[in-house]
Structure 1
Amino acid sequence: MKPELAHVRAVSRGEAAGTSYSVHAPQCADARETVVLIHGVGMNQSVWAPQIDALTSAYQVVVYDMLGHGNSALPTAMPTLDEYAAQLDALLDTLQIGRAHVVGHSMGALVALEFALAHPERTLSVTALNAVYDRTPAQRAAVMNRAATLGEASAERPAEAGIDATLSRWFGDPVPAHLTQAARAVRGLLLSVDPVGYARTYRLFASSDDAHVGRLASLPVPALFLTGECDPNSSPAMSRAMAAATPHGRAEIIANERHMMNVTDPARVNASLLAFLAEVSASSPRAAAQYAVNGSISGEHHG
Structure 2
Amino acid sequence: MISKTLQLSNHRVHYLEVGQGEPLILIHGVGMQASAWYPQIEYFSKHYHVIALDMPGHGQSSCLPEQATLQDFVNWTIDVIQALGLGAVNLAGHSMGSLITAGVAASAPQLVKRIAVLNGVYKRTSEAKQAVQARAAELRQGVIDIQAPLQRWFGNTESDQSACEKVKTWLSEVNLQGYATAYTAFAHGDDTYADSWSSIHCPALVLTGEQDLNSTAEMTYRMAEQAEKGQAVVIPDERHMVNLTAPNLVNQAMQNWLHTPA
Q: TM-score, normalised by structure 1?
A: 0.82
Consecutive unaligned residues in structure 2, runs of 5 or more: none
Shift of 1:231: 0.5
Shift of 1:254: 0.8
| Aligned match for 1:265, one of 242, 246, 258 | 246
**Which deviates further from its counterpart, 193-202 or 133-142?**
133-142
Asked if the contact 2:205/2:257 (under 8 Å) is kept, the reply is: yes
Q: What SS is found at the alignment partner of 2:120?
A: coil
Asked if the contact 1:68/1:197 (under 8 Å) is kept, the reply is: yes
Q: Within the alignment, does 1:250 sit opposite 2:231 as a pair?
A: yes
Shift of 1:177: 4.2
**For residues 17-67 of structure 1, what are the alpha-carbon distances to aligned partners after superposition, in whole Å with 9 as ceiling and x for unaligned?**
2111122123xxxx3x10000000000001111111211232100111101
**Which deviates further from its counterpart, 215-224 or 41-50?**
215-224
Q: Within the alignment, does 1:14 sit opposite 2:5 as a pair?
A: yes
Counterparts of 1:188-207 in structure 2, within 5 Å, are: 188-207=169-188
Q: Within the alignment, does 1:236 sit opposite 2:217 as a pair?
A: yes
Percent identity over the alignment is 36
Q: What SS is found at the alignment partner of 2:50?
A: strand
Counterparts of 1:108-147 in structure 2, within 5 Å, are: 108-147=97-136
Q: Which amino acid aligns with 1:167?
A: L
| Aligned match for 1:163, one of 111, 123, 146 | 146
Q: Give the Cα–Cα distance (whole angstroms) in 2 for the partners of residues 93 and 226 of structure 1.
A: 26
Consecutive unaligned residues in structure 1, runs of 5 or more: 1-8, 289-303
Q: Are the structure 2 counterparts of residues 237 and 266 from structure 1 closer, same or farther at C-alpha, using a change threshold of 3 Å?
A: same
**Which deviates further from its counterpart, 270-279 or 142-151?**
142-151
Q: Which runs of 4+ in 1 moved over 6 A?
A: none
Asked if the contact 1:16/1:91 (under 8 Å) is kept, the reply is: no
Q: What SS is found at the alignment partner of 2:4?
A: strand
Q: Within the alignment, does 1:86 sit opposite 2:69 as a pair?
A: no
Counterparts of 1:70-85 in structure 2, within 5 Å, are: 70-85=59-74
Shift of 1:143: 1.0
Q: Aligned residues, how many?
A: 259
Q: Are the structure 2 counterparts of residues 179 and 85 from structure 1 closer, same or farther at C-alpha, using a change threshold of 3 Å?
A: same
Q: Give the Cα–Cα distance (whole angstroms) in 2 for the partners of residues 125 and 273 of structure 1.
A: 10
Report the equivalent of 1:54. Answer: 43
Report the equivalent of 1:24. Answer: 18
Q: CA RMSD in A?
A: 1.5
Q: TM-score, normalised by structure 2?
A: 0.94
- Structure label with greater radius of gyration: 1
Asked if the contact 1:19/1:87 (under 8 Å) is kept, the reply is: no
Asked if the contact 1:16/1:94 (under 8 Å) is kept, the reply is: no
Q: Which amino acid aligns with 2:199?
A: S
Q: Which amino acid aligns with 1:191?
A: S
Shift of 1:233: 0.4
Q: Which amino acid aligns with 1:243?
A: A
Q: Give the Cα–Cα distance (whole angstroms) in 1 for the partners of residues 159 and 17 of structure 2.
A: 31
